[in-house]
Each structure stands twice: as C-alpha cells, then as structure tokens.
Amino acid sequence: MSSNPIEAKQYHPYYKTYLEKANTDSSIVEGLKENLNVLVSFFSDIPEEKHNYAYAEGKWTVKDILLHIIDTERIFAYRALRIARRDKSPMVGFEQDDYVANGSAVKRTLENLIEEYKAVRQATIALFNSFDASTLLQIGEASGAAFSVRVLGYITIGHENHHIQIIKERYI
C-alpha cells in the first residue's frame, strides 16, 4: 500500500497517533497477524499480580485495557465493514470509558480475555482479507469524520501498539 500514501482526508486527526504506531508500508492483514502474536505473547507474560493493577486512581487495569482493545477492534471492524459495503449512513462515536466501566473485566481471567481477543482478531483478519484494493480505499463517515477502510485497519494495529507501549511504561 505504500504506493498509495494515506492522506489526511482519510481519517480524523485524533487518530494520527495510532497511524504513526502502525507500519503502513506493510499489508493490513500481515500487520494484524503479526500483532496477534505480539499481543498474545505480551499479555501472557504479565504477572498475575498485575492483571487488576492500575497505576493511579481512576486509571484502567491491565485487564480493562485488553477488553478496551477488543471492544475497539470490534467497533473499527464494524465500521470498516459498513464502509466497504458502501453504507453511507454516518456512524456515531462511542464512549470508551463507558465500555470499560460496563465491561466487567475484573470478573474475568486474563486468559479468558486473551481467548476472546484471538477470536475477534481472527474475524478481523478474515474481514480485511476479503477486501480488494479498491474496497480498502472506500471512504465513509464515523464520529463526524471521514475514514477509509484501509485507515481503520491500520488504526486497529496502531491502537493496540499504543496500549502495549503504555502498559510497558506505566504498569510493568
């Protein structure tokens, strides 16, 4: 995809940070596969005493972060599907803090969350594997901004890279 650089009109500026944390010169599917292995290995190595740890009052725990990654991937994949199918209906945003607060990650094991992550990631890989080059360039509207299908794939990759970096810096 490096022959078609990502243009600023293909995403909301808020997501630039995530795009910068994804290798946009490689294919989305390869990036998703690579991150699957990286994320599973990373979270599997976190000591059990850190699973429900938050570095400050009001911050998410390690398990909350993983559930947030899962929820966000589901939402971005749904957005990509709608845009790929030429659904022109604008999609509203979502309040990530509400999702985390109501996700009950504390009641689940990290292993259970990792299994859910793997299932969601396999579905996302299958979805992006079904898109051809012209579909990846389709533009739709989400959260009041334009997004291309391709950008949503790279944002998914960069988003989880962002959270892995935060966990390394502030949690372990």
Query: For the segment 88-144, what is each residue's pLDDT rounded down to a tens digit?
Result: 999 999 999 999 999 999 999 999 999 999 999 999 999 999 999 999 999 999 999
CATH 1.20.120.450 is right for the domain spanning 8-170: yes
Amino acid (1-letter code) at residue 2: S
Percent of the chain topping pLDDT 90: 94
Helices marked H in 7-139: 16-20, 28-44, 62-84, 96-101, 110-129, 133-136
pTM (two decimals): 0.95
Query: What are the domain boundaries of the chain?
Result: 8-170
Check whether 2 has a pLDDT greater than 90: no
Query: What's the CA gap between 159 and 172, in Å, rounded?
Result: 19
Q: Where are the beta strands (DSSP E) in the chain?
A: 139-142, 145-148
DSSP single-letter state for residue 5: P
Mean pLDDT across the chain, nearest whole number?
96
Q: Under DSSP, is residue 166 helix (H, G, I), strand (E, B) or coil?
A: helix
Rounded to the nearest 10 degrees, the angle between the axes of helix 62-84 and helix 110-129 is 20
Query: What's the CA gap between 2 and 172, in Å, rounded?
Result: 35
Residue 116 has φ and ψ, to the nearest 5°, of -65, -45
Name which of 31, 37, 39 is nearest 67 in CA terms. 39
pLDDT-derived band at 3, boundaries 50, 70, 90: low
Q: Regarding predicted confidence, which is higher, 32 or 9?
A: 32
Residue 142 has φ and ψ, to the nearest 5°, of -145, 140
Contact yes or no for 16/25 (Cβ under 8 A)? no
Label residues 36-66 b or e (16+ Cβ within 10 Å = b).
beebeebbeebeeeebebbeeeeebbbbbbb
Q: Under DSSP, is residue 46 helix (H, G, I), strand (E, B) or coil?
A: coil
